[in-house]
Amino acid sequence: MATIQAIFFDQDGVIIDTEKDGHRVAFNQAFRDFGYDVTWGVEEYHELLQIAGGKERMRHYLHTVGFGKPVDPKEEDDLIQRLHKHKTEVFIELVELGKLPLRTGVKRLMIEINKLGLVLGVCTTSNQRSAQAVANQILRDIKFDFILAGDVVSKKKPDPEIYNLALSRTGLSPEECVVIEDSQNGVIAARRAGMHIVATVNYYTAREDLSLADIVVTSLGDPNGEKGELLGGGEGLKYNGVLDAELIVAYFSA
């Protein structure tokens, strides 16, 4: 078994619980600002999350439900691009105003990863500016080796392209890497790339099939705060409600 050299984080739903109160809110604001009577409810957005990528989500909705008034097919691509750009501006403002706090244990684990000298990366289908806003604002004292986001790959999760790109960037083998994910699509992508997987569920993904993950927990946990619960996997793991970097490395290197 190879020794763990790197830990890669998805962003949305893992680093911050962005989907329900972040991206969904930003999408709805963008629709209103562009004059469309479209509001994605909490449960409706859960269904839309099965489609990876914000632009892809809007395009799917336009083709299946519609925006409430006709959209010229010749203008569709430009409209989707402009809507998504505006949505990103709204989302970044939410981040910068501190309205989207970090999930439990995320910063603690990243600090531990830095101290151990492991490679730390972000692999997300979220927009590049969104990913940079999170890294440069609420995680500005964390050292990231790379941030892969948005259109850096042509295929979204569950395709493994973004994780294969991370392997290419680092020169590491899949067995040397652990991925922190939250969704079925993300878990499938990491599994197809051959990596070890920790899944930490949130409001939307708690009902998804995450059985391909090696460990499934409710959160990463904090020693002096909220403790996580083990939901699946983790056979032989000495787990006390907190997944720290040394424990993760030891478990997957054993």
- Please state which of the four CATH numbers 3.30.70.100, 3.40.50.1000, 1.10.390.10, 3.40.50.10490 is assigned to the domain occupying 6-17+102-253: 3.40.50.1000
**Residue 31, pLDDT score:** 98
Q: Has 33 been annotated as catalytic?
A: no
d(CA 26, CA 23): 5
**Residue 127, pLDDT score:** 79
**Residue 61, pLDDT score:** 98
Taking Cα atoms as reference points, which of 230, 180, 184, 231 lies closest to residue 209?
184
d(CA 102, CA 88): 18
**In the chain, helix, strand, coil percent, each to 5?**
45, 15, 40
**Residue 18, pLDDT score:** 83
Do 182 and 20 meet the contact criterion of CB atoms below 8 Å apart? no
d(CA 254, CA 127): 36
Classify residue 19 by its DSSP letter: I
**Residue 1, pLDDT score:** 63
- Token readout for 125 is 């289908």
The domain spans of the chain are 6-17+102-253, 19-96
**Residue 26, pLDDT score:** 95
- Topology (CATH) of 19-96: DNA polymerase; domain 1 (1.10.150)
Sheet containing 6-9, strands listed edge to edge, beginning at the edge strand earlier in sequence: 146-149, 119-124, 6-9, 177-181, 196-200, 215-217, 230-233
**Residue 42, pLDDT score:** 93
Buried b (16+ CB within 10 A) or exposed e, 6-18: bbbbbbbbbbbbb
Classify residue 124 by its DSSP letter: E
One digit per residue, pLDDT tens: the chain, 254 residues?
Answer: 689 999 999 998 999 988 888 999 999 999 999 999 999 999 999 999 888 889 999 999 999 999 999 999 999 999 999 999 999 999 989 988 878 889 999 999 999 999 999 999 999 988 788 888 899 988 999 999 999 997 899 998 999 999 999 999 999 999 999 999 999 999 999 999 999 999 999 988 998 999 999 999 999 999 999 999 999 999 999 999 999 999 999 999 98
- The predicted model scores a pTM of 0.85
The catalytically annotated residue of 10, 159, 182, 214 is: 10
d(CA 125, CA 145): 18
List Cβ neighbours of 239 (8 Å cut-off, separation of 6 or more): 230, 247
Q: Is 13 left (phi over 0), alpha (psi -120 to 50) or beta?
A: left
Q: Has 77 been annotated as catalytic?
A: no
